[in-house]
Amino acid sequence: MELKNSPKIITLVKTKFTLYLPLIKSLQTGLLLVTGLTGYMSARCPVMTLHTFLGLAGSLFLAISGSTVLNMVLDRDIDARMARTANRPLPSGKISVNEALFLGLTLSLAGLIWSFSLSFLYGMVVFAGLFFDVVIYTLWLKRKTAWSIIWGGISGGMPILAGRALGLGELDMIGGLLSLSILLWIPTHILTFSMHYFDDYARAGIPTFPSTYGYKNTRLIIALSSLGVAFSIALGLFFLGLSWGYLRLLAVLTVGMLGLVLGSVFRPSEKINFGLFKYASLYMLSSMSMLVLGVL
Amino acid sequence: MKKISALDRLLLLMISLIAAYQVVAGMDGCCVAVTIYYTVAFGILLITGLLLIIFGFEILDNSTVVVAAALLPLSLSSGLIYRYIPGLYMVYLIFTVMGLVLILVTRYYIGGKIAAIALAIVHGVAGMVIFILPISLSIKGVTSSLFSFVGIGGALIGVGGLLLAFLKAGKPILPKELIYSVLPCLLLVMTIAFVVGMAAER
């Protein structure tokens, strides 16, 4: 009987997995997870146990995934009005609101409980990230002001801060700088998207920087944010004591970023804009890799 | 314009990673000036790789990129001259500065064939320095024989520079599509040759 049912169970699990995967935005969750793990490794803990490392990865994955699913639930009406997101599982009706809400709450709670079991401070930072993201950014400010992205940025900077806090047992300036770099990187991501999908956001009635302050000012903010990312990462890596070789590499990558920033301000185009966004993402990934390689 | 393929992107990523390695590794025992010259050269290689991945081959039509790319052979050759023939350094520095000014002026104010010829001359001289100097040094036994790989890289950078310069001048040596097809591979072999040669001297 059990054997007879097993193909059905496997099919059910496969179906659910296929439906749930887009709900957690695997790429975004993966990137934030990488920053969390990088933050932990940056602490150069005297004892780096597999148990803690896996605990960090598991708890962060659950908490980030949970908050992403909850955001999807809260934003389902917006998603339905935007061509880019209309096919997501909730607006397209592939998953019921109750099922997604249950999934989001379960993942978030599991992530939080696991986080607090590892360390109270770490748990508090993870909780802060989840709270800023779901309550402050999505529930309260996203539909009211274009400035809500700052809170989106703050919540995005929490995983790296949490990882470092777990490794060190305290919050420090380097963690703050690394967190700041993510905070500044996230607006470049969101603002580029809000320019690229301007009509979508307008149709959904979401206030964005391009719709509120115009394209020119938005490009300027993206340029300044990118510079801020470079500056905070450079300071973070410098204070971490990375070798001159890595700092030279960072300087080279920063020059590339500066070139694109100048291009986006003085010769603005959709292509340069998107190029800067892609370069900033590569810059972030490279910096995280350098951080890990440099402290090993 | 040839669309950049997945294989091109992979090759360019490898170029960027190898150049990044060289920037991090640097050169032990070198003075600050040589380190800066080599960092600029490999840094340009790294950024060129990334920009080509992001924007495709169209980026090669951008004047700023052309001027920046000219810094690669100029910077690398200046580093070699500074380290191995310090007596000629001042003369070469003057050539480098004048060459850059020539490229800038012809690229932004004159354009056309004159800009391409100016680029070819400056590229050509710098490329010859990178080609001849390491090979002659390794033949004379001043450096390790593996250092001659830098010379091979110099030959390849010369070939690449000339192919692009003649293409821009409207008299391509090879069909445009073929040039863009072989460019990532050429750049990768050149980067590997440089890094292997440099490692021999570290």
ipTM, two decimals: 0.91
**How is chain A split among helix, strand and coil, in percent rounded to 5?**
85, 0, 15
Same domain, residue pair A135 and A181: no
- Residue A216, domain extent: 172-296
A71 with A123, same domain: the answer is yes
Q: Which of A88-102, B98-112, B154-168 has the lowest average pLDDT? A: B154-168
Determine the pLDDT at residue A2. 57
Q: Tell me B5's DSSP state.
A: P
Do residues A16 and A161 share a domain? yes
Q: How far apart are CA B163 and CA A282, in angstroms?
A: 30
d(CA A218, CA A269): 12
Residue-level pLDDT at B55: 93
Render pLDDT for B48-99 as a digit per residue (tens, 0 to 9): 999 999 999 988 888 888 788 889 999 999 999 999 999 999 999 999 999 9
B63-84 and B148-168 helices cross at what angle (nearest 10)?
A: 150
C-alpha A190/C-alpha A180 separation (Å) is 16
Residue of A nearest to B41 (CA): A252
Same domain, A187 and A161: no
Q: What whole-number distance in Å separates Cα of residue B50 and Cα of residue B32? A: 26
pLDDT at A274: 85
- pLDDT at position A269, please? 87
Q: Pick B43's closest partner by Cβ from A244, A255, A279.
A: A255
What's phi and psi for A113, nearest 5 deg? Answer: -60, -45
Separation CA B155–CA B150 (nearest Å): 9
Q: What angle do CA A282, B164, B91 make, to 5 degrees?
A: 90
B23:A252 CB<8 A: yes
Average pLDDT over residues B23-31: 82
Q: Is the pLDDT of residue B39 over 90?
A: yes
Q: Cβ contacts (< 8 Å) between A281 and chain B: which residues?
A: none
In chain B, % of residues over pLDDT 90: 61
> What was the pLDDT predicted at A9?
84
Q: What is the pLDDT of residue A3?
A: 59
Same domain, A35 and A140: yes
Residue-level pLDDT at B187: 94
Interface touch B55/A279, C-beta < 8 Å: no
The ranges of chain A with pLDDT < 70 are 1-5, 46-47
Distances (CA, A) of A68 to A61, A157, A186, B179: 11, 15, 15, 46
B1 has a pLDDT exceeding 90: no
Q: Are residues A16 and A38 in the same domain?
A: yes
Q: What is the CATH number of the domain that holds A180?
A: 1.20.120
Let me know whether A159 and A12 are in one domain.
Answer: yes
| Last-in-domain residue among A110, A137, A168 | A168
Determine, for residues B39 and A252 on separate chains, whether the beta-carbon distance falls below 8 Å.
yes
How far A231 CA sits from the closest chain B CA (Å)?
18
Question: Does B166 score more than 80 pLDDT?
Answer: no
Together in a domain, A102 and A232: no
My answer on whether A135 and A17 are in the same domain is: yes
Q: Identify the residue with better confidence: B159 or A160.
A: A160
- Residue A50: the pLDDT is 86
Helix pair angle (A173-196, A270-295), 10° resolution: 160
Assess whether A163 and A21 both reside in one domain. Answer: yes
Q: How many domains does chain A have?
A: 2
CATH of the domain at A94: 1.10.357.140
Q: Kindly state whether residues A159 and A263 are assigned to the same domain.
A: no
Higher pLDDT, B167 or A89: A89
Q: What share of chain B is helix, strand, coil (3-state, %, to 5)?
A: 85, 0, 15
Whole-angstrom distance, CA of residue B98 vs CA of residue B80: 18
Final residue before a domain boundary, out of A116, A134, A168: A168
pLDDT, residue A121, reads: 97
Same domain, A205 and A74: no
